[in-house]
Amino acid sequence: MAGVGKLLKQAQKMQRQMQAIQEELAEQELEVSSGGGAVLIKVSGQGEFRALKLDPEFLKEDPEFIEETVLSAIREAAEKAKANSEEAMGAATGGMGGFPGLM
Protein backbone atom coordinates (compact mmCIF):
# COMPACT_ATOMS: atom_id res chain seq x y z
CA MET A 1 0.00 0.00 0.00
CA ALA A 2 3.04 2.26 -0.19
CA GLY A 3 1.79 3.33 -3.61
CA VAL A 4 -1.38 4.79 -2.13
CA GLY A 5 0.59 6.89 0.37
CA LYS A 6 2.81 8.18 -2.41
CA LEU A 7 -0.24 8.97 -4.53
CA LEU A 8 -1.83 10.90 -1.66
CA LYS A 9 1.35 12.90 -1.14
CA GLN A 10 1.44 13.73 -4.85
CA ALA A 11 -2.21 14.82 -4.74
CA GLN A 12 -1.55 17.08 -1.74
CA LYS A 13 1.48 18.59 -3.44
CA MET A 14 -0.52 19.23 -6.60
CA GLN A 15 -3.33 20.80 -4.58
CA ARG A 16 -0.84 23.22 -2.97
CA GLN A 17 0.63 24.04 -6.37
CA MET A 18 -2.80 24.68 -7.85
CA GLN A 19 -3.76 26.91 -4.93
CA ALA A 20 -0.57 28.92 -5.40
CA ILE A 21 -1.30 29.25 -9.12
CA GLN A 22 -4.86 30.42 -8.39
CA GLU A 23 -3.47 33.10 -6.07
CA GLU A 24 -1.00 34.22 -8.75
CA LEU A 25 -3.75 34.33 -11.38
CA ALA A 26 -5.93 36.44 -9.09
CA GLU A 27 -3.12 39.00 -8.85
CA GLN A 28 -2.31 39.07 -12.57
CA GLU A 29 -3.82 41.80 -14.68
CA LEU A 30 -4.31 41.31 -18.40
CA GLU A 31 -5.22 44.16 -20.75
CA VAL A 32 -7.16 43.97 -23.98
CA SER A 33 -7.57 46.90 -26.31
CA SER A 34 -10.05 47.09 -29.17
CA GLY A 35 -11.21 49.61 -31.73
CA GLY A 36 -7.77 51.11 -32.14
CA GLY A 37 -7.51 51.78 -28.42
CA ALA A 38 -11.03 53.16 -28.05
CA VAL A 39 -11.93 50.32 -25.66
CA LEU A 40 -9.62 49.09 -22.90
CA ILE A 41 -10.53 46.17 -20.67
CA LYS A 42 -8.55 44.90 -17.69
CA VAL A 43 -9.19 41.39 -16.41
CA SER A 44 -7.49 39.21 -13.80
CA GLY A 45 -5.78 35.97 -14.76
CA GLN A 46 -8.83 34.19 -13.36
CA GLY A 47 -11.22 36.08 -15.64
CA GLU A 48 -12.51 38.65 -13.17
CA PHE A 49 -13.24 41.89 -15.02
CA ARG A 50 -11.60 44.81 -13.24
CA ALA A 51 -11.90 47.84 -15.49
CA LEU A 52 -13.52 49.11 -18.65
CA LYS A 53 -12.44 52.38 -20.23
CA LEU A 54 -14.02 53.95 -23.27
CA ASP A 55 -12.55 56.86 -25.20
CA PRO A 56 -15.09 59.73 -25.07
CA GLU A 57 -14.66 60.29 -28.82
CA PHE A 58 -15.54 56.65 -29.42
CA LEU A 59 -18.90 57.19 -27.73
CA LYS A 60 -19.86 59.57 -30.54
CA GLU A 61 -19.85 56.65 -32.98
CA ASP A 62 -22.88 54.67 -34.12
CA PRO A 63 -24.39 52.82 -31.10
CA GLU A 64 -24.39 49.49 -32.93
CA PHE A 65 -20.68 49.88 -33.74
CA ILE A 66 -19.94 50.73 -30.11
CA GLU A 67 -21.85 47.66 -28.89
CA GLU A 68 -20.05 45.35 -31.32
CA THR A 69 -16.63 46.75 -30.46
CA VAL A 70 -17.17 46.54 -26.68
CA LEU A 71 -18.60 43.02 -26.96
CA SER A 72 -15.63 41.96 -29.08
CA ALA A 73 -13.21 43.33 -26.49
CA ILE A 74 -15.07 41.54 -23.67
CA ARG A 75 -14.95 38.25 -25.53
CA GLU A 76 -11.25 38.68 -26.28
CA ALA A 77 -10.48 39.50 -22.63
CA ALA A 78 -12.42 36.46 -21.41
CA GLU A 79 -10.66 34.19 -23.91
CA LYS A 80 -7.25 35.61 -22.99
CA ALA A 81 -7.89 35.03 -19.27
CA LYS A 82 -9.15 31.49 -19.95
CA ALA A 83 -6.11 30.61 -22.07
CA ASN A 84 -3.80 32.11 -19.46
CA SER A 85 -5.44 30.10 -16.68
CA GLU A 86 -5.43 26.85 -18.68
CA GLU A 87 -1.76 27.30 -19.50
CA ALA A 88 -0.85 27.88 -15.85
CA MET A 89 -2.91 24.92 -14.64
CA GLY A 90 -1.58 22.69 -17.41
CA ALA A 91 1.95 23.40 -16.24
CA ALA A 92 1.01 22.35 -12.70
CA THR A 93 -0.70 19.13 -13.74
CA GLY A 94 1.84 18.18 -16.36
CA GLY A 95 -0.81 18.56 -19.06
CA MET A 96 -2.57 15.44 -17.80
CA GLY A 97 -5.54 17.24 -16.31
CA GLY A 98 -4.95 15.43 -13.05
CA PHE A 99 -2.25 13.45 -11.42
CA PRO A 100 1.17 13.12 -13.01
CA GLY A 101 2.38 9.57 -13.26
CA LEU A 102 -1.07 8.00 -13.48
CA MET A 103 -1.32 7.98 -17.24
Q: Tell me, what's the pLDDT at 80?
A: 93
Per-residue pLDDT band for 102 (boundaries 50, 70, 90) equals: very low
Q: Which residue has the higher pLDDT, 91 or 29?
A: 29
Q: Which residues contact 70 (CB under 8 A, 6 or more apart)?
A: 34, 39, 52, 54
- Give CA torsion, residues 72, 39, 88, 48, to 10 deg: -90
- Nearest in space to 73 (alpha carbons), one of 100, 102, 45, 43: 43
Quick one: pLDDT at residue 20?
86
Q: Where are the domains of the chain?
A: 30-93
Residue type for position 55: D
Please report the pLDDT score of residue 90 as a whole number. Answer: 81
CATH architecture of the domain formed by 30-93: 2-Layer Sandwich (3.30)
